[in-house]
Amino acid sequence: MKLFDYQRADTPEQAAASAVAPGTRFIAGGTNLLDLMKLQVETPERLVDVSRLELAKIETREDGGVTIGAMVPNSDLAADPHVIRNYPVLSRALLAGATGQLRNKATTGGNLLQRTRCYYFYDVATPCNKREPGSGCSAIGGVNRILAILGTSDQCIATHPSDMAVAMRALDATIVTVKADGDRRRIPMAEFHRLPGDRPHIDTILEQGELITHVELPSPPPGGRHAYRKVRDRASYAFALVSVAAVIEVEDGRIAKAALAFGGLAHKPWRDPEVEHILIGQTPGKALFEAAADALVRDARGFGHNDFKIPLARRTLIATLQDLTGGR
Amino acid sequence: MRFTINGRLHEVEPDIRTSLLDLCREHLGLTGPKKGCDHGQCGACTILVNGRRVNSCLSLAVMHQEDEIVTIEGLGEPGSLHPMQQAFLHHDGYQCGYCTPGQICSAVGMLDEIAKGWPSHASTDLEQVSLDDAEISERMSGNLCRCAAYPNIVDAIREVAGADARTGSDVGA
Amino acid sequence: MFGLGKSHTNSLRMDAPQPTSLLDIGAQNVIGKPLDRYEGPLKVSGRALYSAEYVFPDMAYGVLVGARRGAGRVVSIDAEAVTSLPGVIDVVTDFKTFIRNPGQGGETEAPTQGVEEIVYFGQVIAIVLAESYEAARDAAIRLPVEYEEAAGRFDFAAHKHETDVPPENNTPAHFGQGDLDQAMAEAAFTVDASFTTPSQNSAAMEPHASVAMWDEDRLTLYGSYQIPTKDAMQLADALGVGKDQVRIVSHFVGGGFGSKLGIAPETTAAAIAAKRLGRPVKAVMLRQQVFDATVRRSNTEQRIRLAADAHGRLIGIGHETLTSNLPGEDYFEPAGIGTHFLYPGEHRLITHDQVRLNLVLSGSMRAPGEAVGMLALETAMDMLAEQMAIDPVELRRRNEPLLDPEKNVPYSSRSLRECLDLGAQTFGWDARETRPAQRREGEWLIGMGMAAAARSNLLQSEEAKVRIEPSGRAVIETAMTDIGTGTYSVLSQIAGELLGLDPRSVDVRLGDSDMPASGGSGGSWGACGSGSAVYLACEELRRQLAKTLGVEPGAMTLKDGLAIAQNKSMPLAELVGDGIEAMGAISPGKQKDAVTQASYGAHFAEVAVNAVTGEVRVRRMLGVFAAGRILNEKTARSQCLGGMTFGIGAALTEELLHDGRTGKLVNRDLAEYHIPVNADVPQLEVLFVAERDQHSNPLHAKGLGELGISGAGAAITNAIYNACGVRVRDYPLTLDKILPGLPDL
């Protein structure tokens, strides 16, 4: 860890303003940032401590949706009665991630900003375009069992490690921020995380100094059936190889709505309108689910060790849909 | 910087980069919390901050000056062990002892989470949390034990919780 | 420490069986009892001090620097680039003296030295010293090093046809008897199958750590080591000083599993830096460095051939193995070691060939040999049983040899059949479906599997000193360690039984190379060896007490601190005057070859395989073991739990992944090297079969610490096959390997 200046912010606006200089990072739970700083994968010159900002509330809005403060710990969010009742996919996703003690520290905002767990990103002794632009991707042609099969580029095949973000993608969350100049903006989850392209060092569309203050969830769909299914190498305490967040509404024997997001497959929580389009309006059944799963992996590309993720994602999606709809 | 640990106030001036774990171990003589990985991957450093279990290795000390911090040393000592320490002793919930302080702090924090009704990945019903072996195992999975005292750890925690847990597993639940 | 006063030494070389054991006539009734761990209160309260936790005035912090090339040479190190950072004191290296890789277990000479030439990625080349840990870690990562890169041998598959025959280890590299090819040709049933196992890491929870301080020319090093006596000799040799000039202290060791048998690179780095600075130096390996620069268990490629007659009786057995290690290193993973004695068959071929790779040293990890060899052998046995359509338990029953099939000598004790029978009955083995993929619960396919367990029993030379103090308390001193194995407890129980004392009235002092020499913890020999030395010392003390009482030792009873003879009782405190002491010393002898010594057991597992994803969950697991006398039922059971869990990890998740282009270990942390977590391990069951072994030692006990892992993983593999019909022979059995064999949804 390199030396850094440390300051504590009193308000979100002040935090954003004081983080406008390059090399400044916000710190809240610190569970990923400190991890990476120790390895000097991250080397901020200044840390702005936002952990004590009054952003730790979960509030129900008049429209029935909820607004989650960016400092709400993952544990509290997962255990919130309103979230459990109306957004069980989010509780399930949170509880599938990390461990009790990590969830107690990790925050809602920080979870969205987790960086990839690619082995090579984590090791300054190896080239990595995400860590050091232009140095090359060691994972392509290297050990890539845990890495991406969708939305990759020849620069980077990293995956986003969050479970929570996958559920939020399925729930069409909106991320609320305050910028260094005091402006606020609302960013749909769909636009928040990037694909690697030729700039894999940039994970999200946030600007320097832009602080996440809240995450808004739209009012819950009535009658929606929720599931979060995570496939991993250990029974607990392991990142997803493949995960599926699903919210399905069935009306009169047909799928009325389907929101499906995937973890472990791409540089961002993956969602493919085509997959949902195939399902909507149809009677649940195996052939239908297979068609949707085929669409999901149509453009998937493996890199050797991770080829198995293609059939795994396919099978996991089909089984999740079968579970939620009873369609066989 | 000022810290309240195990009810005692400490004033020290460590390097700004010092983790809560290293503050305890290198500056305050509290070597109960252990460093197994320093990256939140093993849980040996688990302590209680404001009653919640956290990884002290992934905490900057400077961020915790207002907090109530309890380490394994604050739970009990030989001759007056905490019930959880006593249960680990009786059930042999440890071997080499290195992960043990973290396991015990984690277990204490975990039972408090259950008392609050917090669900886990193992909970069939998110709104009705019960305490069975699968729940204990899942909730304690943030504490690695390479000697693998896991079954004994589960026994110890079940005893303290007073739960009549089912044995055997419930795969697929 | 005791003074150098005279003490009688009671020595025993195991040249003959020991038909009687004093432990059977002790009156205290504590031997074998499931007592809480002796040092437990210190451990559960966080008061047990591990090596990195010793603090000395003026201590400097050291962080190691690992090479960022897999092969080549260090051209230059730009120390000045980091010594200008606040708090940084110096960068220290010694290209000749730093050890290149750790020492192997039991060696008394220095491991390979010299770090200018780089032979594996992460090899320790320097240590950065600073006033704070934070400053040292920062500088160590930033230290500019210039390398000259060389071509390295990183890829096992690419080099596996270039092998050499390593020198004999515990077992000969090559052994042949009869004509296996002929036996295979004539057999009624045959199996010929290849298996691979990956490199693994012990991943003890405590990283390797050394606090080094010099007092004039004598070094004291608080280190996390399993064999202080020999580790001090290794370190003295490495530093070029006399044996008496190095003391290693390891009162508590946070797990070893083989990785701390020999000195690791932080020892020489800390010792040299402490000398250079004239200050105590603490050097703790980062977890990543434990992976990069200590010891791995070698990967293996194994071919098993089984030739059976029409009744399933083996007539031939082949176990040909390829393993890997650094150029110039003698150690090889003895994957065929258990195959020598476990099953009969006149025609035998057991070989070990070494592939030279530029990867971190391979050395001992829990049950070297059996742990990986039995993953192959016991899976092949399952395949044979299936082919013959007989129960796998029955196949093992039919292959109980009367004599060691190679040495033609009896077994010292062998209760494998009893373990099989008790295990099958207790586990409900008869409910197992004979054909695979017959039982399904929702998405989960359920199956059962079993495997035999066997682990050679070894004995090292051991010494211990026991004293009865004027207070009537006893004190034990030996350089033996407790790495979680229960040494503190079992030694206090042995002395308690023989001296008639509550074990709490026995002070046990361990882990100091200045104490009586010990073979340390490793190879499952610790409890039997050090326990026997304590036994012998106590035997001598019993003679002295009897003499004082004027009776024969056999006419005296020691109980609750009293010596009772001729209807009189007297407190020990009154009998011993200023105190009495004795040394005990045991050493291996003719019994080593006169009989074949091993511990045995049987594993039974029930697993669930997810029909959608291939995920595996172990639902139930039972281990039944026979290892002679059990010294403390509680700590013994824990040892078995630990071994079985290592087996779960080996079967399902553990694998070191090296980048074949650079030799870099990529999953070098506990997030991506997957040791089992609590949720991976069900409430394992352990049972012991009562047994005594007169040939092993006067305790009549055998080694236990590594028995639990031997065969455990194979029981799981066999259960997976039974559950879903997929037989994976490439360990670990991660879901990606099972998935292709699963039926369509």
pLDDT per residue as tens digits for the range C141-170: 999 999 999 999 999 999 999 999 999 887
A142 to chain C: which residues are within 8 Å by CB?
Answer: 659, 661, 666
Beta carbons within 8 Å of C700's beta carbon, 6+ residues apart = C18, C21, C23, C628, C629, C692, C693, C694
State the Cα–Cα distance between residues C5 and C131, nearest whole angstrom: 43
Q: Closest-CA residue in chain B for C484? A: B96
- The domain in which residue A320 lies consists of 225-325
C41 to chain B: which residues are within 8 Å by CB?
Answer: 78-79, 81, 89
Question: Does A10 reach chain B within 8 Å, measured CB to CB?
Answer: no
C416 and C494 belong to one structural domain: no
Among candidates B138, B168, B172 on the partner chain, residue whose Cβ is nearest the Cβ of C441: B172
Q: Does A85 reside within a domain? A: no
Q: Closest-CA residue in chain A for B106? A: A101
C65 and C143 belong to one structural domain: yes
Domain ranges for chain B: 2-75, 83-161
Q: Does A185 reside within a domain? A: no
Active-site residue among C320, C370, C691, C706? C706
Is the confidence at residue A220, as pLDDT, over 70?
Answer: yes
Among candidates C44, C55, C677 on the partner chain, residue whose Cβ is nearest the Cβ of B94: C44
Per-residue pLDDT tens over the stretch C461-496:
999 999 999 999 999 999 999 999 999 999 999 999
Average pLDDT, chain C: 97
| Neighbour order of strands in the sheet with C145-149 | C117-118, C72-77, C145-149
* C641–B15 C-beta distance less than 8 A: no
Cβ atoms C544, C424 nearer than 8 A: no
Q: Does C622 reside within a domain? A: yes
Domain boundary residue, one of C587, C616, C648: C587
C308 and C226 belong to one structural domain: no
State the Cα–Cα distance between residues B82 and C394, nearest whole angstrom: 49
Distances (CA, A) of C494 to C40, C252, C528, C564: 18, 20, 11, 19
State the Cα–Cα distance between residues C156 and C446, nearest whole angstrom: 35
- Please tell me the predicted confidence (pLDDT) of residue C563: 97
Cβ atoms C296, C368 nearer than 8 A: no
Instruction: Examine the residue annotation and report whether C706 is marked as an active-site residue of this protein.
Output: yes
Distance of CA B111 to the CA centre of its chain: 10
Q: Closest-CA residue in chain A for B119? A: A79
Question: Does B120 reach chain A within 8 Å, measured CB to CB?
Answer: yes
**E strands present in C326-430:** 347-356
Look up tokens 């680990």; give the residue. Answer: B88
In chain C, the percentage of residues whose pLDDT exceeds 90 is 98
Is the confidence at residue C289, as pLDDT, over 60?
Answer: yes
Is the confidence at residue C6, as pLDDT, over 90?
Answer: no
Chains that touch C (3 or more CB pairs under 8 A): A, B
State the Cα–Cα distance between residues C549 and C569, nearest whole angstrom: 10
State the Cα–Cα distance between residues C683 and B137, nearest whole angstrom: 10
Looking at residue C239, the DSSP 8-state letter turns out to be H
Which of C670, C37, C637, A110 is closest to B141 using CA atoms? C670
Among candidates A142, A237, A308 on the partner chain, residue whose Cβ is nearest the Cβ of C736: A308
- Please tell me the predicted confidence (pLDDT) of residue C72: 98
* C68–A125 C-beta distance less than 8 A: yes
Question: Does A285 reach chain C within 8 Å, measured CB to CB?
Answer: no
User: What is the number of domains present in chain C?
Assistant: 3
Confidence of residue A222 (pLDDT cuts 50, 70, 90): confident
State the Cα–Cα distance between residues A266 and A259, nearest whole angstrom: 17
Q: Does A264 reside within a domain? A: yes
Q: How many CB atoms lie within 10 A of CB A153?
A: 18
Among candidates C141, C614, C662 on the partner chain, residue whose Cβ is nearest the Cβ of A124: C141
**What is the CATH number for C465?**
3.30.365.10
Is the confidence at residue A2, as pLDDT, over 80?
Answer: yes
Counts of helices then strands in chain A (DSSP H, E): 12, 12
Distance from CA of C483 to the nearest CA of B (A): 5
Among candidates A51, A102, A235 on the partner chain, residue whose Cβ is nearest the Cβ of B55: A102
Which of B113, B36, B29, B27 is closest to B62 using CA atoms? B27
State the Cα–Cα distance between residues A86 and A84, nearest whole angstrom: 6
**E strands present in C122-265:** 124-130, 145-149, 163-164, 174-177, 189-197, 200-201, 209-215, 218-223, 246-249
Which 3 state secondary structure label does DSSP give C534? helix
Name residue C247's beta-bridge partners.
C220
Which of B167, B148, A183 is closest to C255 using CA atoms? B148
* C671–B94 C-beta distance less than 8 A: no
Per-residue pLDDT tens over the stretch C305-317:
999 999 999 999 9
* B146–C37 C-beta distance less than 8 A: no
Cβ atoms C545, C563 nearer than 8 A: yes
Q: Does C720 reside within a domain? A: yes
Which of C84, C678, C427 is closest to B146 using CA atoms? C678
* C671–A236 C-beta distance less than 8 A: no
Structure-block tokens of residue C67:
């090479």
State the Cα–Cα distance between residues C426 and C450, nearest whole angstrom: 13
Structure-block tokens of residue A9:
């912010």
Among candidates B37, B76, B136 on the partner chain, residue whose Cβ is nearest the Cβ of C670: B37
C606 and C700 belong to one structural domain: yes
User: What is the topology classification, in CATH, of domain B83-161?
Assistant: DNA polymerase; domain 1 (1.10.150)
C568 and C649 belong to one structural domain: no
**E strands present in C443-485:** 444-456, 462-468, 474-477
Chains that touch A (3 or more CB pairs under 8 A): B, C
- Residue to mutate among A101, A103, A111, A117, with most B CBs inside 10 A, is A101
- Please tell me the predicted confidence (pLDDT) of residue B163: 55
What's the predicted TM-score (pTM) here?
0.98
Measure the N-to-C terminal CA separation of chain C; round to a whole number of Å: 69
Which of A17, A110, A122 is closest to A56 using CA atoms? A110
- Please tell me the predicted confidence (pLDDT) of residue A61: 97
Structure-block tokens of residue C725:
């019909």
Q: Does C305 reside within a domain? A: yes
Residue C278 CB-density burial (10 A; 0-12 exposed, 13-18 middle, 19+ buried): exposed
Is the confidence at residue B103, as pLDDT, over 80?
Answer: yes
Per-residue pLDDT tens over the stretch C115-142:
999 999 999 999 999 999 999 999 999 9
State the Cα–Cα distance between residues A174 and A190, nearest whole angstrom: 9
C46 to chain B: which residues are within 8 Å by CB?
Answer: 30-33, 71-73, 100-101
CATH fold match for the domains B2-75 and B83-161 = no
In chain C, the percentage of residues whose pLDDT exceeds 70 is 99
| Mean pLDDT, rounded, for C671-698 | 98
Helix (H) or strand (E) holding C713: helix C712-724
**What is the CATH number for A251?**
3.30.390.50
Which 3 state secondary structure label does DSSP give C68? coil
Which of A317, A169, A302, A308 is closest to A243 using CA atoms? A317
B140 to chain A: which residues are within 8 Å by CB?
Answer: 100
Identity of the residue numbered A24? T
Among candidates A39, A125, A318 on the partner chain, residue whose Cβ is nearest the Cβ of C664: A125
C255 to chain B: which residues are within 8 Å by CB?
Answer: 95-96, 98, 146-147
Q: Can you say whether the dihedral through the CA atoms of C77, C81, C83, C88 is positive or negative?
A: negative
* C669–A234 C-beta distance less than 8 A: no
Is the confidence at residue C554, as pLDDT, over 90?
Answer: yes
Q: Closest-CA residue in chain B for C41? A: B78
Length of chain A: 328
State the Cα–Cα distance between residues C569 and C577, nearest whole angstrom: 16
Among candidates C36, C45, C676 on the partner chain, residue whose Cβ is nearest the Cβ of B78: C45
Q: Does C181 reside within a domain? A: no
- Please tell me the predicted confidence (pLDDT) of residue C7: 78
Q: Closest-CA residue in chain C for A120? A: C666
Confidence of residue C102 (pLDDT cuts 50, 70, 90): very high
Cβ atoms C108, C233 nearer than 8 A: yes
Is the confidence at residue B164, as pLDDT, over 80?
Answer: no
CATH of domain B2-75: 3.10.20.30
* A79–B117 C-beta distance less than 8 A: yes
State the Cα–Cα distance between residues C535 and C529, nearest whole angstrom: 10
C483 to chain B: which residues are within 8 Å by CB?
Answer: 96
Which of B156, A170, B100, B104 is closest to C484 using CA atoms? B100
Q: Closest-CA residue in chain A for B15? A: A3
Per-residue pLDDT tens over the stretch B47-75:
999 999 999 999 999 999 999 999 999 99
Looking at residue B25, the DSSP 8-state letter turns out to be I
Q: Closest-CA residue in chain B for C607? A: B171
A102 to chain B: which residues are within 8 Å by CB?
Answer: 40, 55, 58, 142
Cis-peptide into C410, omega within 30 deg: no
Q: How many CB atoms lie within 10 A of CB B8?
A: 11
Q: Does C195 reside within a domain? A: no
Per-residue pLDDT tens over the stretch C187-205:
999 999 999 999 999 999 9
Among candidates B77, B92, B122 on the partner chain, residue whose Cβ is nearest the Cβ of C37: B92
**Measured CA angle at C703 (ends C698, C707), to 5 deg:** 155
Question: Does A40 reach chain B within 8 Å, measured CB to CB?
Answer: no
User: What is the number of domains present in chain A?
Assistant: 1
Cβ atoms C530, C491 nearer than 8 A: yes
Question: Does A315 reach chain C within 8 Å, measured CB to CB?
Answer: yes
Distance of CA C339 to the CA centre of its chain: 19
Q: How many CB atoms lie within 10 A of CB C448?
A: 23
Domain boundary residue, one of C263, C294, C325: C294
Average pLDDT, chain A: 97
C613 and C724 belong to one structural domain: yes
Q: Closest-CA residue in chain C for B165? A: C683
Confidence of residue B167 (pLDDT cuts 50, 70, 90): very low
Q: Closest-CA residue in chain A for B41? A: A237
State the Cα–Cα distance between residues B123 and B127, nearest whole angstrom: 9
Distances (CA, A) of C130 to A2, A34, C95: 14, 21, 21
Cβ atoms B84, B108 nearer than 8 A: yes
- Angle, in degrees to the nearest 10, between helices C633-652 and C712-724: 50
Distance from CA of A88 to the nearest CA of B (A): 8
Interface of A with B in 65-84 (CB under 8 A): 75, 78-79, 81, 84
Per-residue pLDDT tens over the stretch A148-199:
999 999 999 999 999 999 999 999 999 999 999 999 999 999 999 999 999 9
Distance from CA of C606 to the nearest CA of B (A): 11
Identity of the residue numbered C455? R
* A100–B53 C-beta distance less than 8 A: yes
- The domain in which residue C668 lies consists of 297-457+597-741
* A51–B63 C-beta distance less than 8 A: yes
* C735–A239 C-beta distance less than 8 A: no
3-state helix, strand, coil in chain C (%, to 5): 30, 25, 45
Cβ atoms A91, A83 nearer than 8 A: yes
| Mean pLDDT, rounded, for C717-724 | 98
- Residue to mutate among B54, B169, B170, with most A CBs inside 10 A, is B54
- Please tell me the predicted confidence (pLDDT) of residue C726: 98
Domain boundary residue, one of C235, C268, C294: C294
State the Cα–Cα distance between residues C718 and C195, nearest whole angstrom: 14
Question: Does B112 reach chain A within 8 Å, measured CB to CB?
Answer: no
Q: Does C263 reside within a domain? A: yes
